[in-house]
Amino acid sequence: MMTSPITLDALRVLDAIERRGSFAAAAESLYRVPSAVSYTVQKLEEEMGVPLFDRSRRRAALTDAGRLVLEHGRRILLATDEMTALARQSGAGWEVELRICVDTILEPDALYPLLEAFQSIQPRTRVVLSEEVMGGAWDALHDNRCDLVIGAPGEAPVSGLASQQLGEVSLVFAVARGHPLTGMPQPLSAEVLRDYPTVVVADSSRSLPSLSSGLLDGRSQIIVPTIAQKIEIQHKGLGVGYLPLHRVQRQIAAGSLEILALEVDRAPVTLSIAWRSGRQGKALKWFIERLCAPGMGAAFGL
C-alpha cells in the first residue's frame, strides 16, 4: 500500500488557513508569502489526489474532503506536539512514567506529601502507584513492573538491584482480646498454635523464589490480599498470626489485640527501598534521595 505523502507542514498551513479565513491571512501568520501557501496547498491536493478547496468563488472554501483533512490533521498535529514534549522531557532525563510500589506492610500515607512535592516540580512525569505483598515488591522490581519499591523486606534476592535500608519493623504475634490462646501459659509452643487458623497475606510473587511467611505447614490458613485485612480478621478473633507492630499500636494500646510470646519469636525484619541499579532518571533519583533522608523510616511509622 502506498504510504501517505502528507506533510505536517501542509497540515499546519491548512490549519492556519481555516483559522485565519483566507490564504493571504494564513500566509501572513506563517510569515510566508501568499504564493507559498498556495503552492503548499496545491502540492497537498496533488499528493492526496483530492481537491481540498472549492475555488469557484472568491474565497477558497474547504470541500468535504478538505474539512476532513483539516480536522484529522489537527489531531495529528496535537499528537506530534505531545510526542515532542514527551521526548524532550525524556531526553532531559525525566522519566515519562515512574512506577512506585509500596509493600502493604507500610501504610502509604507518608508517601503522599512526597508525591505532592514531586508533582509540583515535575508535573509531566506520570507517577503510577501499586501495592505488593511480602517479596512481591522485589519481584515487581525484577520483572520491570515497577521502578522503585518502598518497604521491601530483607535483602535483594537477585543481583542488579540496589537498595537502602529504611528501618526495622517488629513482628508481634497478636490475637484478639478474649481469644482462647490468651489463657494459655506463655511462651506458647508450636503445638498449641496448631489448633487455630493462621491468617496469611497472599504472596503475589510470580517469578522469584517465594519468600514464605515463615509459618509451619499443616495448619488451617485464611488467605487475605492485604495486611489491612489480616489485621481486621485477627482483630475479630477469626485467626492468629504475626502483625507489624507499627500497624497495630492503637489496637494494642486499647487492649483489643494482645501480644503473646512464642517459644521461637521472630526477628525484626529490615525494610528497604530498592530500585534497579544502572540508568536512573531524574524522577527516580529525586525520590531515592528523599526516601534515604534520615527520619524517613519514622515517617512510615518504623
The residues of the shown chain that bind DNA, judged by CB under 7 A, are 7, 9, 22-25, 31-36, 38-43, 53, 55, 57-60
Residue 30 Cβ, how far from DNA at the closest point, in Å?
8
Residue 52 Cβ, how far from DNA at the closest point, in Å?
10
Q: Please choose which of a copy of itself, DNA, none residue 69 contacts, taking the beta carbon within 5 to 8 angstroms, the exact cut-off set by kind.
A: a copy of itself
Q: Of 256, 209, 214, nearest to 232 (Cα)? A: 256
Residue 62 or 133: the one with the smaller Cβ distance to a copy of itself is 62
Residue 79 Cβ, how far from a copy of itself at the closest point, in Å?
5
Q: Of 173, 178, 169, 185, nearest to 241 (Cα)? A: 173
Sign of the Cα torsion 105, 109, 113, 116 reads positive
Is the backbone of residue 165 left (phi > 0), alpha (psi -120 to 50) or beta? Answer: beta
Beta bridge partners of 103: 132
Residue 281 Cβ, how far from DNA at the closest point, in Å?
24
Per DSSP, the residues of 78-128 read: HHHHHHHHHHHHHHTT--SEEEEEEETTS-GGGHHHHHHHHHHH-TTSEEE
Residue 80 Cβ, how far from DNA at the closest point, in Å?
15
Q: Please choose which of DNA, a copy of itself, none residue 250 contacts, taking the beta carbon within 5 to 8 angstroms, the exact cut-off set by kind.
A: none
Q: In Å, how far are 120, 145, 246 from 99, measured between CA atoms?
A: 18, 8, 26
Applying CB under 8 A, the site for a copy of itself has a residue count of 37
Which of 19, 21, 64, 206 lies at the binding interface for a copy of itself (CB under 8 A)?
A: 64
Residue 285 Cβ, how far from a copy of itself at the closest point, in Å?
15
Residue type, 152: A
Q: What is the DSSP letter of 2?
A: P
Residue 58 Cβ, how far from DNA at the closest point, in Å?
3
CA distance 196 to 82: 58
Q: What is the DSSP letter of 302?
A: -
Q: Does the protein bind a copy of itself through residue 46 (CB under 8 A)?
A: no
Q: Does the protein bind a copy of itself through residue 96 (CB under 8 A)?
A: yes
Q: Please choose which of a copy of itself, DNA, none residue 40 contacts, taking the beta carbon within 5 to 8 angstroms, the exact cut-off set by kind.
A: DNA
Sign of the Cα torsion 241, 244, 248, 252 reads positive
Residue 33 or 117: the one with the smaller Cβ distance to DNA is 33
CA distance 241 to 171: 9
Q: Please choose which of a copy of itself, DNA, none residue 73 contacts, taking the beta carbon within 5 to 8 angstroms, the exact cut-off set by kind.
A: a copy of itself
Q: What is the DSSP letter of 181?
A: G
Q: What is the largest CA-CA distance in the chain?
A: 101
Residue type, 142: H
Q: Please choose which of a copy of itself, DNA, none residue 254 contacts, taking the beta carbon within 5 to 8 angstroms, the exact cut-off set by kind.
A: none
Q: Does the protein bind a copy of itself through residue 63 (CB under 8 A)?
A: yes
Residue 151 Cβ, how far from DNA at the closest point, in Å?
40
Spell out, one character per residue from 68 to 87, where the chain touches a copy of itself: x when CB under 8 A holds, - when not: xx--xx-xxx-xxxxxx-xx
Q: List residues near a copy of itself by CB under 8 A.
A: 1, 3-9, 12, 48-52, 63-65, 68-69, 72-73, 75-77, 79-84, 86-88, 90-92, 96
